[in-house]
């Protein structure tokens, strides 16, 4: 894509076969409240560096898709009102109009892969929404991963979704899914979604081998599902209560389309007295750390 701006430090790392981890920006602008959002974005970048990789947060600033945002850009996406939530299909119009926008998993994966980044950390993927049989609400994250060669480290898919249906669709789309040291698919706020997996990877090295093999196959992306330790998950009873109230709120307020996910995340924060926010932050940092370790292992593998 002409006009794709790759931050110098990121471009240098990519040219030298160094470790790079992409980070998304929708969770900054639409997933987390101020001021936690900016603090979390900076902390995720710091953790990636701590593990020996270069962070590349992705977003669109003044119509320019950027792989690697500067601190000023991060501040803007965290603090301005009216930042757009951009999925892949929104990118052409955001470019044409010179908009500021935060990128979802789908748009982040697309831009990062175009720049040559192979690892990406988020909190939880989008997926098949409950009631999708009627609403047809299925996140574009899934279709993007089917065609884009990037490995996403996530705590499964958001527990507000229909998790078994999401796993079925990932299978249909041919997206490889492995648990990190587990054969249970994580449930975002919860350690275990209740769904089994066919594959696990048993360490950063094995994950890096799988990412390299994925690249050789030239198919699409991959999900490395990284659960929170049980001691850090949201209390399951509280989760159940928040979910019920969130889903009721959706129906009552007639929330649709791209507003559904931010609405439900905000409802969880209210219903759990802020506990879900703390869990969400732990998930994101946990995944940033693992993605950086895998990126470093991949760089070492390719330097051999």
Residues in touch with Mn ion (CB under 5 A): 137
> Under a CB-based contact definition with an 8 Å cutoff, are residues 261 and 246 in contact?
no
Q: Binding to ligand PSU by residue 280, rule CB under 6 A? A: yes
Q: Binding to ligand PSU by residue 31, rule CB under 6 A? A: yes
Q: Which residues contact 121 (CB under 8 A, 6 or more apart)?
A: 21, 22, 23, 44, 48, 152, 153, 154, 284, 287, 288, 290, 291, 292
Neighbours of 8 (CB within 10 A): 9
Nearest partner of 144 among 123, 113, 119, judged by Cα: 113
Least distance CB 288 / Mn ion (angstroms): 24
Least distance CB 221 / ligand PSU (angstroms): 13
Partner that binds at residue 104, options ligand PSU, Mn ion, none, CB closer than 5 to 8 Å by kind: ligand PSU
Helix 140-147 vs helix 105-115: angle between axes, to the nearest 10 degrees? 20
138-154 per-residue burial string, b: 16 or more CB within 10 A, e: under 16: bbbbbbbbbbbbbbbbb
Q: Binding to ligand PSU by residue 192, rule CB under 6 A? A: no
Largest Cα–Cα distance in the chain? Answer: 58
Least distance CB 139 / ligand PSU (angstroms): 3
Q: Which of 37, 88, 104, 286 binds ligand PSU (CB under 6 A)?
A: 104
| Whether residue 24 lies in the annotated active site | yes
Handedness of CA 184, 186, 187, 192 (dihedral sign): positive
| Whether residue 66 lies in the annotated active site | no
Catalytic residue, from 66, 85, 158, 281: name it.
Answer: 158
Residue 140 vs 298, nearer CB to ligand PSU: 140
Q: Binding to ligand PSU by residue 122, rule CB under 6 A? A: yes
Partner that binds at residue 227, options ligand PSU, Mn ion, none, CB closer than 5 to 8 Å by kind: none
Least distance CB 167 / Mn ion (angstroms): 17
Handedness of CA 110, 116, 122, 125 (dihedral sign): positive
Least distance CB 102 / ligand PSU (angstroms): 8
Name the one range near ligand PSU by CB under 6 A: 64-72, 206-214, 241-249, 257-265. 257-265
Query: Cis peptide before 35, with omega less than 30 degrees from 0?
Result: yes
Least distance CB 96 / ligand PSU (angstroms): 22
Q: Binding to ligand PSU by residue 271, rule CB under 6 A? A: no
Q: Which of 141, 162, 204, 271 binds ligand PSU (CB under 6 A)?
A: 141
Q: What is the rounded distance in angstroms from the CA atom of residue 196 to the CA atom of residue 169?
A: 15
Helices (H), the chain: 8-15, 26, 36-50, 71-79, 91-97, 105-115, 132-135, 140-147, 163-172, 204-217, 236-253, 260-271, 275-303
Residue 182 vs 261, nearer CB to ligand PSU: 261
Q: What is the rounded distance in angstroms from the CA atom of residue 240 to the CA atom of residue 221?
A: 31
Name the one range near ligand PSU by CB under 6 A: 23-31, 175-183, 216-224, 294-302. 23-31
Partner that binds at residue 30, options ligand PSU, Mn ion, none, CB closer than 5 to 8 Å by kind: ligand PSU
Q: Which residues bind to ligand PSU, rule: CB under 6 A?
A: 24, 26-27, 30-31, 104-106, 122-124, 126, 139-141, 258, 261, 265, 280, 284
Task: Please list the active-site residues.
Answer: 24, 158
């Amino acid at each position: 894509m002409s006009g794709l701006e790759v931050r110098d430090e990121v471009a240098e790392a990519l040219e030298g076969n160094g470790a790079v981890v992409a980070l998304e920006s929708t969770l900054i602008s639409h997933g987390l409240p101020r001021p936690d959002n900016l603090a979390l974005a900076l902390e995720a970048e710091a953790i990636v560096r701590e593990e020996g990789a270069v962070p590349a947060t992705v977003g669109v600033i003044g119509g320019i898709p950027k792989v690697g945002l500067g601190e000023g850009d991060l501040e803007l996406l965290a603090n301005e009102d009216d930042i757009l939530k951009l999925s892949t299909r929104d990118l052409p119009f955001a470019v044409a109009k010179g908009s500021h926008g935060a990128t979802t998993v789908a748009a982040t994966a697309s831009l990062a892969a175009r720049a040559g980044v192979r690892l990406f950390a988020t909190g939880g993927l989008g997926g098949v929404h409950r009631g999708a049989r009627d609403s047809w609400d299925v996140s574009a994250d899934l279709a993007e991963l089917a065609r884009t060669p990037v490995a996403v480290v996530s705590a499964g898919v958001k527990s507000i979704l229909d998790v078994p249906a999401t796993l079925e669709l990932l299978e249909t789309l041919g997206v490889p899914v492995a648990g990190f040291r587990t054969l249970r698919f994580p449930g975002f706020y919860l350690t275990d979604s209740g769904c089994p997996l066919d594959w696990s990877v048993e360490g950063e090295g094995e994950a890096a081998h799988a990412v390299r093999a994925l690249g050789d196959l030239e198919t699409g992306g991959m999900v490395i599902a990284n659960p929170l330790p049980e001691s850090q998950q949201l209390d399951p009873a509280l989760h159940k209560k928040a979910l019920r109230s969130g889903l009721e709120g959706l129906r009552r307020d007639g929330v649709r389309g791209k507003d559904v996910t931010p609405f439900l995340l905000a409802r969880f924060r209210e219903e759990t007295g802020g506990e879900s926010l703390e869990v969400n932050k732990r998930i994101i940092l946990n995944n940033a750390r693992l993605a950086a370790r895998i990126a470093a292992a991949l760089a070492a593998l390719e330097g051999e």
